[in-house]
Amino acid sequence: MTQIPATSPVDSALQSTSVNRFSDMSSEDFIRIIFTELANQDPLAPNDSGALLQQISSIRSIESDMQLIEQLKSLVTENQLAAASNLIGKHVTGLTINSDAVEGNVVSISREGETIAIKLDNGYSIPFESIDTISAAVPKPTTGVGTNAG
Looking at the structure, do residues 95 and 74 belong to the same domain, yes or no?
no
| Alpha carbon 74 to chain centroid, angstroms | 9
Q: How confident is the model over 81-108, as pLDDT tens digits?
A: 899 999 999 999 999 999 999 999 999 9
pTM confidence score: 0.52
Specify which residues 119 forms β-bridges with: 108, 125
For residue 92, is it within any domain?
Answer: yes
End-to-end CA distance of the chain: give it in Å, rounded: 100
| Alpha carbon 118 to chain centroid, angstroms | 19
Number of domains making up the chain: 2
User: Domain containing 59: what range?
Assistant: 25-38+48-85
For residue 5, is it within any domain?
Answer: no
Question: Is residue 90 a contact partner of residue 135, using CB atoms and an 8 Å limit?
Answer: yes
Looking at the structure, do residues 53 and 30 belong to the same domain, yes or no?
yes
For residue 146, is it within any domain?
Answer: no
For residue 72, is it within any domain?
Answer: yes
| Mean pLDDT across 44-67 | 79
For residue 18, is it within any domain?
Answer: no
Q: How confident is the model over 108-137, as pLDDT tens digits?
A: 999 888 789 999 999 999 999 999 999 988
